[in-house]
């Protein structure tokens, strides 16, 4: 997708601090961390929100969700972590390429969920 920053990161056109990569997904550290550990799990295929997702993309999202516990282990998030998937502008979504925030490395409290 032209002009999509996460497509460019996934294609290696823009550098990122990569944590994990395979043919379906890329996990890299967020440029504006909201917790001690803050990564983004990004499916390589472009879709903006869950509402746009087709069956093949849903399979990729499933692979992402199944891989995240392993990635959390690699990141040392043994005490737990929080996943956030912002959907649309009211949720504060700023990059319209679906991504899963992985937050942890500290006590996240109970304020947001």
Residues that bind ligand DGP (CB under 6 A): 5, 16, 28-32, 40, 86, 92-95
Instruction: Tell me, yes or no, if 99 is annotated catalytic.
Output: yes
CB 53 within 8 A of CB 39: no
Comparing CB distances to ligand DGP, the nearer of 78 and 90 is 90
* Strand partners for 64: none
Beta-carbon contacts of residue 106 (< 8 Å; ≥ 6 apart): 35, 36, 37
Catalytic residue among 46, 97, 99, 101: 99
Residue 81 beta carbon to ligand DGP: minimum distance, rounded to whole angstroms: 15
Show which residues are catalytic: 99
């Amino acid at each position: 997708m032209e002009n999509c920053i996460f497509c460019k990161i996934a294609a290696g056109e823009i550098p990122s601090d990569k944590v994990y990569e395979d043919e379906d997904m890329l996990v890299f550290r967020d440029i504006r961390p909201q917790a001690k550990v803050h990564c983004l799990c990004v499916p390589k295929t472009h879709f903006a929100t869950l509402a746009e997702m087709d069956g093949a993309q849903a399979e990729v999202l499933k692979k992402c969700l199944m891989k995240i516990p392993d990635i959390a282990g690699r990141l040392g998030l043994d005490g737990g972590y929080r996943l956030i998937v912002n959907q649309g502008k009211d949720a504060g979504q700023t990059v319209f390429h679906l991504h899963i925030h992985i937050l942890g490395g500290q006590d996240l409290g109970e304020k947001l969920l």
